[in-house]
Amino acid sequence: MRQEKFIENIVNRRLESISSSLIRKNNEYASVGDVFEAFKAGAHFSLHTTKEAVAWEFMVKHLQSIQQIVSNYENNKKLPDILLLDEKFGDAINYLILLEG
């Protein structure tokens, strides 16, 4: 894939998806005052004591799902559902951004 197509088809599309998803999810899971509210609250329900560890735990399920999709493709040559793959990549990227925050 040429660089221009990669930037157009992957990078720009992903950046738009990240922005809209983080805004939408913030409205669903957090308050205006604290974007990490859900992770702080999650520490009370999980085996972790910090919001960062809770965010990591949540991200791991998406990474495991991506690993399973790749494994299924490798073993069965079954093409993954593109919408599912798009969602899982987006979720994993968003959790990395949240962890960075």
Specify the residue for token string 């040559």. 77
Average pLDDT of the segment spanning 61-83: 89
Per-residue confidence at 61, pLDDT binned at 50, 70, 90? Answer: very high
Check the CA dihedral 19-22-27-31 and report its sign. Answer: negative
Per-residue confidence at 29, pLDDT binned at 50, 70, 90? Answer: confident
Specify the residue for token string 């221009």. 4
By C-alpha distance, which of 84, 91, 88 is closest to 29?
A: 91
